[in-house]
Structures are given as C-alpha cells and as structure tokens.
Amino acid sequence: MIPVDWPAGVPMKLQRTAYSRDPQDLVRRMTVDAGPPLRFLIDGAAGQRVRGVLSLTPAEAGVFELWRRETLDRGMGRFNWSITDNGRPVIARFAAQPKLSLTPSRWRYQLDIDCAPPDPAPAGLAALAALEDAAPAAWPAAVPFRPQRTGFASEPFDQVIRSPDNALQRQALSSRAEGASTDIELNLTAQQLADLETWFETDAGFGVCDVVFPDLAGGTHLGSFDGTYKIRPARSALWAVSFRIYLEAIA
C-alpha cells in the first residue's frame, strides 16, 4: 500500500508533554565470560517508536477521524509524517489505535507511531560494515558530555570467574582491566541532539564501534554503547537523551 499524506489542516506535531522517541537498536550483542559483549551490526537503517499527544480542535479532530477511517483504512495504512523533535520525514504507521480523551475545548489523542527510515544506499551499508573493524570513534566535539545526576548509575563489571562447585568457590580474575556499565542522561538542545544522532548513525555505526568518551575529571575513557538511546523532553526547550555505556579502561 502506497503511503498517504497526513490530512491537510491537521497539525502534525505532538505535544512535548508525555513525548518520547526510542530509536531501534541495530546491534546484536554476544555475551562473553568477561568484559563487554561482542557487537555485530544487523542492519543499516533504524526505525523509531514515537509516543505523544496530538491536541486538536473539534473541527480538526473531525478531519483526522475521517482520514483515519477512510483514507487510512481504519488506521491500518502507512502515511507520510515528520518526527516532532527533529523534523525528519519518515513513513509511519499507527502501532495502536489512537486513544481519545476530551477537554472542554480540545480533543487529545495519545499516539504510538512506528516510523520507518528510508532504505540505506549500498555505499552507506558498505561504509557501516567497514566501521566494525575501524579505530574507536571520538565523542563529537559539538555535543557537551555533562551527565545529569538524575538517572546516573554505575555498576562495576564482574570480572571474577567463579567455579560452580558445591564447596567453597574457586575464584580468579579474568582481567586486571576494570570496567563498569554506566547509565548516562544528557540534556541537549535540538541542534546538539541532531549532531549526536548524525554521529551515532555514521562515526559510531549505530553503536557497533568502540568510542572514546570524555572523562569528567579530565582525560578520556574507552568504551562502547550497551544498546541505543532514548529521547524525551527535559526542562525548558532541551531534550533528555539517556543511554547505557560500558566504560572499559582509561585511554
């Protein structure tokens, strides 16, 4: 089915309240005995799940309902849409039927939207494949690395090998290099978020590459992404970007 256009006269942007965006993780991770998992890129284009509220006047809601029932075949079809926080054009579909609530003057629809990216070019796929064996990517200079205290957590990676004996366990260190999984949240402007996403999709290969992360006390850490990132509104006009990284060693 060919994607249809969003209905004319109906706002496309979702409200910041309760908004979130979760890009798809394109990296397969294989757990090993110690240290970070092995990483393999499984695709070259990430889909996105966007959640948020569409606030409409009664007249706009009438147009939207007619479009959903008739043009979109009761919400089953695909449609051309732009992601609210970065304006990227995507082909979208409703992951669930819109949920309606009413206020005295507005119709509020809770939307869950699955967004499909354009198919990557062969040259782009080849460039991403080459990144699996490339040198570590440097954190983008245009994006400040200032983790928020809220949501910050660090867990040392267990590098002790323990025997399964019923008696006292035998233990041995698998490595002298320490590492930790760390939950990070950054508050970024719209431009800084755009710069981070472009870097993540190219230099970092959607998270398949090692990364040299800045250290708050000076210097750098060598690490990797343990999954993709999530986006939600922060204070003022900023966006909160949260992700987990594995910091392997001082670089």
Task: Give tens-digit pLDDT for 68-110.
Answer: 999 999 999 999 999 999 999 999 999 999 999 998 899 999 9
The 3-state DSSP class for residue 167 equals: coil
Give the span between the Cα atoms of 250 and 43, in whole angstroms.
Answer: 30
Give the span between the Cα atoms of 213 and 242, in whole angstroms.
Answer: 15
Long-range contacts of 127-134 (CB under 8 A, 24+ apart): 127/202, 128/41, 128/44, 128/205, 128/206, 128/208, 129/41, 131/41, 131/203, 131/204, 131/205, 131/208, 131/209, 132/39, 132/40, 132/41, 132/205, 132/208, 132/209, 134/205, 134/209
Closest CA to 234 of 198, 186, 182: 186
Give the span between the Cα atoms of 30 and 227, in whole angstroms.
Answer: 12
Q: What is the pLDDT of residue 128?
A: 75
23: number of Cβ within 10 Å? 21
45-49, 148-152, 193-197, 204-208: least confidently modelled range: 148-152
Average pLDDT over residues 211-238: 90
Q: What is the pLDDT of residue 37?
A: 76
Q: What is the pLDDT of residue 157?
A: 66
Structural tokens at position 231? 């986006």
Question: Does residue 37 or residue 4 have the better pLDDT?
Answer: 4
DSSP state of 150: T
- Position 248 confidence tier, pLDDT thresholds 50, 70, 90: confident
Question: Does residue 237 or residue 124 have the better pLDDT?
Answer: 237
For residues 125-144, one letter each, b for 16 or more C-beta atoms within 10 angstroms of the residue's C-beta and e for the rest, the string is eeebeebeeeebbebbeebe
Q: What is the pLDDT of residue 250?
A: 56
What integer best gives the mean pLDDT of the chain? Answer: 86
The 3-state DSSP class for residue 81 equals: strand
Q: What is the pLDDT of residue 176?
A: 45
pTM metric for this prediction: 0.82
> What is the percentage of the chain residues whose pLDDT exceeds 90?
56
Integer angstrom CA distances of residue 186 from 48, 230, 232, 242, 243: 20, 11, 11, 6, 9
Q: What is the pLDDT of residue 180?
A: 80
163: exposed, middle or buried (Cβ count in 10 Å: 0-12, 13-18, 19+) = exposed
